Amino acid sequence: MPLSLWSFLFPIGMLIVSNVFMTFAWYGHLKFKDQPLWTVIAVSWAIAFVEYCFAVPANRYGSSVYSAAQLKTIQEVITLVVFALFSWFYLGQPLAWNHAIGFGFIILGAFFIFQRF
Structural domain spans, the chain: 5-113
Q: pTM of the full predicted structure?
A: 0.86
Mean pLDDT calculated for residue range 98-106: 90
* pLDDT per position as a tens digit, 37-88: 999 999 999 999 999 999 999 999 999 999 999 999 999 999 999 999 999 9
Question: What backbone torsions phi and psi does residue 92 show, to the nearest 5 degrees?
Answer: 70, 30
Per-residue confidence (pLDDT) for residue 64, from 0 to 100:
94
Q: What per-residue confidence (pLDDT) applies to 3?
A: 79
